[in-house]
Amino acid sequence: MATPSKKRDVEEMDVQSDEDEDDLDDYSSSEEEDEDGIADEDVQVDFEAVPPTDADANGIRTLLSQLFLKANINLGQLADTIISQNYVGCVLKQCEVEEDESDDGIDEDPIFGVTTVINLTDKKNLESVKQLKAMLLMQCEKWAADKLPVFNQILLDTCEKQIGFLISERFINMPSSVAVPLYESLSKDLQSEKVNR
């Protein structure tokens, strides 16, 4: 599969997330706890934006499946496309933490978000891109029928411009504050790719 074509600076993001934490050792009967003994606490988590690799394929597919919930799109091929163009966009992972001996040998590096752009013009022969275009035209027909001829011209290869489809998906409980650095990184990647063309 694809390997990173160039190294990028890894952006570290410091994000606060509200998560429920059940800690039996620190159990107290304060008013903040409900009857189950679960307290609301702020948990400090560090994330990093890194180029996608082959090991991220399942995580990317999972995020794409929640983005295209009922669409008929080959998500495996779309995930492979995202990985093959790892010079544009990134995946969001938790910064490396010290290994806990209670992991039972499970080596998981979950993906918490993905941000990239799929070039619909260059990738027009891929089945997943054809399916994506068909879904977009169907949505346009449903919600903006008067603009359908314009979208047909843009999406059905009669337009000479490069057309990109922005993918920005993250787990629902991820704070929105992670979006700004991801978009800034994507903008830099696109400018760099434009210069290299």
Give alpha helix (H) positions in 1-56: none
Structure tokens at 11: 């952006």
Q: Is residue 150 part of a domain?
A: yes
**Do 162 and 117 contact (CB within 8 A), yes or no?**
no
**Do 22 and 38 contact (CB within 8 A), yes or no?**
yes
Residue ranges making up the domain that contains 184: 47-97+108-196
Q: Is residue 36 part of a domain?
A: no
Q: Is residue 1 part of a domain?
A: no
> Exposed/middle/buried for 85, CB within 10 Å: 0-12, 13-18, 19+?
buried
Q: Is residue 14 part of a domain?
A: no
Q: Is residue 92 part of a domain?
A: yes
Give alpha helix (H) positions in the chain: 57-67, 75-84, 127-143, 148-155, 179-196
Q: Which residues of the chain have pLDDT under 70?
A: 1-39, 97-108, 157-159, 195-197
* Residue-wise DSSP of 54-93: GGGHHHHHHHHHHHTSS----HHHHHHHHHHTTTS-EEEE
pLDDT of residue 146: 92
pLDDT of residue 41: 75
Q: Is residue 37 part of a domain?
A: no
pLDDT of residue 173: 81
CA distance 41 to 34: 13
Query: Looking at the 3D structure of the chain, how many domains does it have?
Result: 1
Q: Report the chain's C-alpha Rg in angstroms.
A: 20
CA distance 126 to 61: 17
pLDDT of residue 9: 46
Q: Is residue 25 part of a domain?
A: no
CA distance 141 to 147: 8
Region for 94 from its dihedrals, namely left if φ exceeds 0, alpha if ψ lies in -120 to 50, beta otherwise:
beta
Q: Is residue 129 part of a domain?
A: yes
Q: Is the pTM of this model over 0.95?
A: no
